[in-house]
Structure 1
Amino acid sequence: MATIDLIVLGILKKEPMSAYDIQKLVEYRNISKWVKISTPSIYKKTIQLEQKGLIKGSIVKEGKMPEKVIYSLTEAGEKAFEKLMFDISSEPIHIFLDFNAVIVNLDSLPLEKKKMCIDSIQEKIKELKSYLEQNIREKENVPEIPATGMAVLQQQFVLVEAIETWIDSVKQWGVSQSLCKPSN
């Protein structure tokens, strides 16, 4: 099972809800900013988890609204949730940063284009930092925001600050070590 399984099971452990509500909660909590998860994957995952017997769906009709399926954890889902928590927390930590694919290939670009790539990454990191600062400010005094959610935002902010420092060192190293020398 994957991280998305843990996200869906964890949300349903707190309260039963529809796939649509799960997707909205993922959007609201900005989970897709720090875990690769998409709207279609949530819908697909709820179907898969139900087929495995980890969640069960009940059709509910409220007033004049159309019917919807509300999912809840089964006993097997509770056990799977706990197993995933321990399995994933005891795995080696991997930090995948897509822009590292650019960094490892910088030597294949001419000087000006190398600088443009690094500048672009630096700009995107600044945008992310600004977004995180605003998000933290908006949510830090909201009682319904879980402390664990705030901890992830703080973690992401610290990581962004470290990446900013690292980018500065890449730029300095690149100049002094001729990282930015013309390619062949």
Structure 2
Amino acid sequence: MSQIDLIILGYLQNKEKSAYEMVKEFETWKLHYWLKISNPAIYKNIVKLYKNGYLDSRTVKEGEMPEKTIYSINKKGLSYFSELMEYSSNNIGRIYFDFNAFLTNVENVPLEKRKELLLNFKKNLDETKTQMNFNYDKQLKIKGTPDHAFLLLDLYKDLYDLLESWSSKVLKHYNV
């Protein structure tokens, strides 16, 4: 299941756009905070969706600007979107944290270094939570932010609250 495909197809149901315009809008959504996604992956998937017949395209030229390709979702794309939505509703996926490998190996370092690393871990987690709260407050001030953005931001705020509490348990466990 491609999360990127799902995002692109869902987005194009509302308006046709060029790949560049989609990437720029996804950047304003801070999409990379909630999905493992990159700008090159977005471009690659748009081309793949087009080649697989899920998108239609047309070339436009505006004034002195170079030509650009505008994409829109077609009937086959809507069907694929429905399949992806069905799959996603039945398969919530797994949650992996990048720090799992760190915690798996923290006991393999000398005690003093372990304490230093665990304090770094806690500090960075706290800083990430602070940044998350800042982004949430900033998003509140932007008119027209979609509801799903706030729901996802709420999820991450709650998750970072939980991680902050849990990380204190980790430090206590290791007597840090």
Pairwise same-fold verdict (TM > 0.5):
yes
Distance in 2, Cα, partners of 1:108 & 1:56: 54
Hey, which bits of structure 1, 4+ residues long, moved more than 3 A? none
Q: Deviations over 1:21-49 (max 9, x none)?
A: 11111211111011000011011111100
Structure-1 residue corresponding to 2:72: 72
Structure-1 residue corresponding to 2:18: 18
Shift, 1:121, TM fit: 2.1
**Residue 135 of structure 1 pairs with residue 140 of structure 2:** no
Cα separation, partners in 2 of 1:57 and 1:115, compared to 1, 3 Å: farther
Distance in 2, Cα, partners of 1:116 & 1:5: 41
Distance in 2, Cα, partners of 1:97 & 1:164: 14
Identity over aligned residues, as a percent?
A: 34
Contact 1:55–1:72 (CA under 8 A) maintained in structure 2: yes
Q: Deviations over 1:51-75 (max 9, x none)?
A: 1111122111112111111111011
Distance in 2, Cα, partners of 1:2 & 1:130: 30
Distance in 2, Cα, partners of 1:23 & 1:92: 25
Which 10-residue stretch deviates more, 134-143 or 36-45? 134-143
Provide structure 1 residue ranges, at least 5 long, that are not aligned to the other structure. none
Distance in 1, Cα, partners of 2:6 & 2:32: 14
Q: Deviations over 1:89-125 (max 9, x none)?
A: 2114311110111001111111122222222222222
Contact 1:102–1:117 (CA under 8 A) maintained in structure 2: no
Please give the TM-score of this superposition, normalised by the length of structure 2: 0.94
**Residue 101 of structure 1 pairs with residue 101 of structure 2:** yes
Which 10-residue stretch deviates more, 117-126 or 100-109? 117-126
Which 10-residue stretch deviates more, 151-160 or 129-138? 129-138
- Residues paired across the two proteins, number: 176
Kindly provide the amino acid, as one letter, of the partner of residue 161 in structure 2.
E
The two structures, once aligned, show a CA RMSD in angstroms of: 1.4
